[in-house]
Amino acid sequence: DQQVKQNSPSLSVQEGRISILNCDYTNSMFDYFLWYKKYPAEGPTFLISISSIKDKNEDGRFTVFLNKSAKHLSLHIVPSQPGDSAVYFCAASKGGGADGLTFGKGTHLIIQP
Amino acid sequence: DAGVTQSPTHLIKTRGQQVTLRCSPKSGHDTVSWYQQALGQGPQFIFQYYEEEERQRGNFPDRFSGHQFPNYSSELNVNALLLGDSALYLCASTGGALYNEQFFGPGTRLTVL
């Protein structure tokens, strides 16, 4: 049973436009959510996180929104750049970002020139 | 400042054999987690080590075991290898000021024939 779901395996966005990546979760015990970015042959790299006591966190071009009632979070990238092309993983934990993380299957974001 | 390092990069084993993978955490980090990433899937949490003890464990059989050394480096051991153990094994470390962020290594690609 997948507790963290990323229903879009891939997403294509034009350079300069907004990229929106979505993630749903089923476990109400999750209280911390993270987004990781992964290039081929590299480990995942932390992007941004949000605690369940917040509904928005912003860091430069990246914003994460959390809707607890819908058990849904999204990552917005504005503006999208060619270097953003990568696989993005949504992850969740029950005790902060240092605990064992539950990951989604990932969304492959492709930025078109 | 070296990040998380893992060895070896690639490994080929046959069914029934045993394998040991190694991880050195990022400088200043004292907690090490291991993840298994099968093809087309997100990373799955195996276990986490802190102060040389297994602190958390995911849903993996006892064939998967680990160790953490006094210098915080860690090993993942897998006994009685199955074809389904073929995956990318990722090590992540955390600790210090950025305790809510896990830093991942590039992984070890294990192929079981």
To the nearest whole angstrom, how far is the Cα of B80 from the nearest Cα of chain A? 25
User: What's the rounded Cα separation, in Å, for the pair A18 and A77?
Assistant: 6
User: For A70-91, what is each residue's pLDDT tens digit?
Assistant: 999 999 999 999 999 999 999 9
Choose the closest CB to A97 out of B40, B57, B101.
B101
Is A100 in contact with B47 (Cβ distance < 8 A)?
yes
Is B100 in contact with A4 (Cβ distance < 8 A)?
no
> What Cα–Cα distance (Å) separates residue A72 from each residue in A39, A49, A75, B64?
25, 14, 11, 33
Are the beta carbons of A10 and A22 closer than 8 angstroms? no
**Span A58-71, mean pLDDT?**
97
pLDDT confidence bin for A2, thresholds 50/70/90: confident
pLDDT confidence bin for B1, thresholds 50/70/90: low
Mutate to test the interface with B, among A6, A101, A102 (most CBs of B within 10 A): A101
**Span B27-44, mean pLDDT?**
95
Q: According to the model, what pLDDT value does residue B99 have? A: 74
User: What's the rounded Cα separation, in Å, for the pair A44 and B75?
Assistant: 20
Are the beta carbons of B4 and B93 closer than 8 angstroms? yes
Choose the closest CB to A43 out of B42, B95, B106.
B106
State whether residue B106 sits within 8 Å of chain A by CB: yes
To the nearest whole angstrom, how far is the Cα of B55 from the nearest Cα of chain A? 9
Q: According to the model, what pLDDT value does residue B98 have? A: 66
User: For A27-62, what is each residue's pLDDT tens digit?
Assistant: 999 999 999 999 988 999 999 999 999 999 999 999
Are the beta carbons of B33 and B11 closer than 8 angstroms? no
What's the mean per-residue pLDDT of chain B?
94
Whether pLDDT at B17 is above 70? yes
